[in-house]
Structure 1
Amino acid sequence: MSAPVAVLGVGTSHFGRQPGRDLIALAHDAVREAFDDAAVEQVDAVWVGTVFAPAGVAQRVLRAIGITGVPVITVENACASGTTAFAEAREAVRSGRHGRVLALGLEQMSTAFAGAIVPEPTDPEGRTGLALPALYAMAAARLLHEGAVTPEQLAAVSVKNHAHATHNPRAQYSGEYTVAQVLDSPMIADPLTRLQCCPVSDGAAAAVLGRPAGAAGEVVVRGLALRSGTTWNHRSPHVWGHDLVRDTAADAYAEAGLDALDDVDVAEVHDAFTVGEVVTTEALGLCTPGDGGAAAAAGVTALGGKTPVNPSGGLLSRGHPLGATGLAQIAEITWQLRGTTGGRQVDGARLGLVETMGGGVSVLDGNACVVALLERR
């Protein structure tokens, strides 16, 4: 019989372009904070999520921190690499394989890319130069054509998340923008402007998982699911990524025993581009189909709204160091459930949701997606 699993401690580095800080320094910040938070100095195993780090990076950064002699497993699952590490760490504790496990995500992108990630040339899209901004732009263009969203509603996502980030001292960017300023920023991939695209980021995030102690306010994993995308073609009426998020969420909700999402108080979702948050909130069931953009514009998903989404600032504003992103989301929801996030706090948050979806492989509806439900008990 599987055992319940608690998030004993979390930690992150600062997020932003930090070419002068190597992966060892970034990982040290995250792991040290997570260990101090969990009041531990040792773990039984480590899962590390990263996408572009060099071979042996896990052992290299852990050696520098003083973690050796335990099983260390590195995973790559596109943008969901960090939450994949979290999912595997949770399963190791739940199955009884290990008692206390560290999940670590890290990435230093500023030294690897000047702009968008270079497409994989062995994929048809890569051979034509179709980078991820263009793929998301195609989804946005289709929703605009169908009348499912307006340019102003897409921009409202950016306005909301940049405003949320003003309360996050670790965020890469923040600011009070208007819809007009977002739409007038330089065009990256029509119709997505610069302020609708996540920045190139460096950072690390970590979580220590173990058995619950029964303490008041303890954060536990109520439900979690991981899926890889199926072939995406004319059979789906939805834009790229929607079906993968929807199906993964259904698995997580089923494990959590949730019939409806009215119980979710706060969510951190994969908003690498504004349209990504719109599609994801609908696929998760946080908004009704066709209402994702309208919900952002109306304040439904803002702090103070019915279901705040990305109070950290999200990928758009906190930053998106690929391997670290999922665990940064886990950290934010853990802090939210503990009530320690200051000006971005969602009052009375008890149940939080994390969704991370990564893509890039031709023909698939996304490389991988993780949906996790964390609960304060």
Structure 2
Amino acid sequence: MDAYVVGAGQSAFGSFPDESYRSLFETAYTQAAESAGLVPSTLSDRVDEAVVGTLGVGGRQIGLSGPAVTEHVGLDGVPCTRVENACGAGGFAVRSAVQAVKSGMADLVLAGGVEVMTDTSADTTKWWLGVSGETAWERLSGTTFAGVYAQMASAYFDAYDADPEAMARVAVKNHANGARNPKAHLGFECTLADARDAPTVADPLNLYHCCPTSDGAAVVLVASETAAAEFDDAVRVAGVGAASDRVGLFERDTYTSIPASRTAAEAAYEAADIGPDQIDLAEVHDCFAIAELLAYEDLGFCAPGAAPDLIERGVTDRDGDRPVNTSGGLKSKGHPIGATGVGQVVEAFDQLTGRAGDRQVADVGRALTHNVGGSGGAAVVHVLEADR
């Protein structure tokens, strides 16, 4: 049984002191319903299940945080499950929605994600981000989230004798895309010099190599084939793959790849009966610029060590042969942890249905989303196809 995305919406990503996690979720929910041609207040009679991804930065509503946001939009009678897989929570929420539909247990499922990250101190937020690694041996020994990815970057550029300027090129590309996205947290362009010469955060990562901490929410509606027939736009979920790995970077066999991403991608390609060369557009997890470079290789877009050449040749630019992160990615669009993976699916849906506005890429028939938890403790990949 096939599953289809029939509606998608998201709030702006950014810093919103006057918003709550409930109000941000309501914005995304309303947009998702309206994009599907539905009246939001009537969805309680249509939605069979809800899945919400969130980490819970700042400690707010740790228990029943899923039902807390779905009740706010009138879905208090609908079964709701909260999913937590660090930065991959949203992508795994979408996967759970797809599984519910493909199992035959539901005809219409809401998959959402929400996070508020800017109303706590920098130290508190850094602590919450750190627990997505191996707490005892990474976080409590003083290693920050940026520090973990800095180790990966150092290992990569040493292993392949590559120029770290490739990370600056990722930032320039994603900011150029984000400048076209009215919902992006950092919606401005930057120069190569800006991205190359910014203050160091964790060597070799600098400020422009790191995504912001953001508030935001995203929602998609996943339907069965029967239910999808009534909607004007339906994007088929052609393949899903997921994997987990050792949570601590130091426990893995490699620092220059994220094995969970490779495994998840292989499973998604196999389910969709395609290869990586058949992907027209991708939204990948670029929490740090090095993560996007690793994703190119782990997703099979190029050989190991070839990612710097791929970005330098413009292959992943919006007008390149395989655009990546047309939304601006985590780097420019923002990274409200629980919402990120769902937001990637929103961008894929908009591109596949011609709704992406100034970011629209011509002739997109197949898109991929790639969402990672922590430094690679979990990963999920979706392949989506334009159905009509």
Interval of TM-score (by shorter of Structure 1 and Structure 2) = over 0.9
User: Aligned to 1:138, which of 151, 163, 177?
Assistant: 151
Q: CA deviation at 1:233?
A: 6.1
Q: Deviations over 1:259-295 (max 9, x none)?
A: x222100000000000000001110001222111221
Quote the RMSD (CA, aligned, Å). 1.8
Residue 269 of structure 2 corresponds to residue 256 of structure 1? no
Q: Which residue of 2 aligns with 1:375?
A: 385
Q: Deviations over 1:350-374 (max 9, x none)?
A: 00000001126xxxxx221100000
Q: Distance in 2 between matches of 1:37 and 1:216?
A: 10
1:254 partner SS = helix
Q: Tell me if structure 2 keeps the 8 A contact 1:13–1:170.
A: yes
Residue 80 of structure 1 aligns with an amino acid whose one-letter code is: G
Residue 212 of structure 2 corresponds to residue 199 of structure 1? yes
User: Aligned to 2:86, which of 78, 101, 104?
Assistant: 78
User: Aligned to 1:247, which of 239, 263, 285?
Assistant: 263
Q: Distance in 2 between matches of 1:46 and 1:106?
A: 13
Q: Once structures 1 and 2 are overlaid, which stretch shifts more, 149-158 or 329-338?
A: 149-158
User: Aligned to 1:157, which of 161, 170, 176?
Assistant: 170
In structure 2, the CA distance between the partners of 1:148 and 1:205, relative to structure 1 (3 Å rule), is: farther
TM-score, length of structure 1 as denominator length: 0.93
Residue 359 of structure 2 aligns with an amino acid whose one-letter code is: R
Q: Distance in 1 between matches of 2:294 and 2:364?
A: 24
Which structure 1 segments of 5+ residues have no match?
361-365
User: Aligned to 1:325, which of 340, 354, 357?
Assistant: 340
Residue 353 of structure 2 corresponds to residue 355 of structure 1? no
Q: What are the within-5 Å matches in structure 2 for residues 1-377 of structure 1?
A: 3-40=1-38, 41-42=43-44, 43-52=47-56, 53-54=60-61, 55-114=63-122, 117-118=126-127, 119-120=130-131, 122-212=135-225, 213-214=228-229, 218-230=234-246, 236=253, 238-239=254-255, 242-258=258-274, 260-359=275-374, 366-377=376-387
Q: Distance in 1 between matches of 2:165 and 2:6?
A: 41
1:123 partner SS = helix
Q: Distance in 1 between matches of 2:201 and 2:172?
A: 17
2:304 partner SS = coil
Q: Tell me if structure 2 keeps the 8 A contact 1:269–1:355.
A: yes
In structure 2, the CA distance between the partners of 1:229 and 1:114, relative to structure 1 (3 Å rule), is: same
2:341 partner SS = helix
TM-score, length of structure 2 as denominator length: 0.91
Q: Distance in 1 between matches of 2:155 and 2:298?
A: 16
Q: CA deviation at 1:234?
A: 7.9
Q: Tell me if structure 2 keeps the 8 A contact 1:157–1:293.
A: no
In structure 2, the CA distance between the partners of 1:16 and 1:206, relative to structure 1 (3 Å rule), is: same
Q: Tell me if structure 1 keeps the 8 A contact 2:367–2:384.
A: yes
Q: Distance in 1 between matches of 2:24 and 2:252?
A: 43
Q: Distance in 2 between matches of 1:332 and 1:141?
A: 31
Q: Tell me if structure 2 keeps the 8 A contact 1:19–1:108.
A: no
Q: Distance in 2 between matches of 1:134 and 1:246?
A: 23
Q: Distance in 2 between matches of 1:33 and 1:279?
A: 33
1:252 partner SS = helix
1:347 partner SS = coil
Q: CA deviation at 1:82?
A: 0.5
Q: Distance in 1 between matches of 2:250 and 2:73?
A: 46
Q: Tell me if structure 2 keeps the 8 A contact 1:148–1:291.
A: no
Q: Tell me if structure 2 keeps the 8 A contact 1:157–1:297.
A: no
Q: CA deviation at 1:57?
A: 2.1
In structure 2, the CA distance between the partners of 1:99 and 1:326, relative to structure 1 (3 Å rule), is: same
Q: Tell me if structure 1 keeps the 8 A contact 2:209–2:289.
A: yes
Q: Deviations over 1:176-227 (max 9, x none)?
A: 3222211211111111110110001000000111123457753110000121
In structure 2, the CA distance between the partners of 1:235 and 1:97, relative to structure 1 (3 Å rule), is: closer
Q: Distance in 2 between matches of 1:229 and 1:83?
A: 16
Q: Tell me if structure 2 keeps the 8 A contact 1:225–1:251.
A: yes
Q: Tell me if structure 1 keeps the 8 A contact 2:218–2:343.
A: yes
Q: Distance in 1 between matches of 2:37 and 2:192?
A: 44
Q: Distance in 1 between matches of 2:293 and 2:223?
A: 34
Q: CA deviation at 1:174?
A: 2.6
In structure 2, the CA distance between the partners of 1:235 and 1:77, relative to structure 1 (3 Å rule), is: closer
Q: How many residues align?
A: 368
Q: Tell me if structure 1 keeps the 8 A contact 2:49–2:79.
A: yes
Q: Tell me if structure 2 keeps the 8 A contact 1:106–1:323.
A: yes
Q: CA deviation at 1:230?
A: 4.0
1:117 partner SS = helix
Q: Which residue of 2 aligns with 1:363?
A: none
Q: Tell me if structure 1 keeps the 8 A contact 2:50–2:111.
A: yes
Q: Distance in 1 between matches of 2:243 and 2:120?
A: 28
